Amino acid sequence: MSHVYQASLKSAAGFVVPIIMGSIIQSDPYEPGGWATFWYISAASAGLGLFIYLLFGSAKQQESLNPVKVESNGIKRNIIDEIE
């Protein structure tokens, strides 16, 4: 998925989530029991993200974030110096 679509989906959550949660809590927003569904959905969403990270994620630094470039002759150069 390209960056544009991904950013659009993330931005849409800013106005879609309050609409959905407002419809769930519409009975009485000041009653704590009415918020239980909201907290269960939030906890499930966080748990799902954690589960996906544990299955597929890694703490290994990505090569694209490494500013040191090794040339074919073994010399290490800092890529940031080339940009300036």
Closest listed residue to residue 36, CA positions, set 51, 21, 46: 21
What span, in angstroms and rounded, lies between the C-alpha atoms of 83 and 27? 58
Helices 36-56 and 3-25, axial angle in degrees (round to 10): 150
Reading the chain (84 residues) residue by residue, the pLDDT tens digits are 577 887 887 888 888 888 888 888 877 778 888 788 888 988 999 999 999 999 998 888 776 676 666 666 666 666 565 554
What is the structure's pLDDT at 52? 94
Beta strands in the chain (DSSP E): 68-70, 76-78
* Boundaries of every domain in the chain: 3-59
Predicted TM-score (pTM) of this structure: 0.55
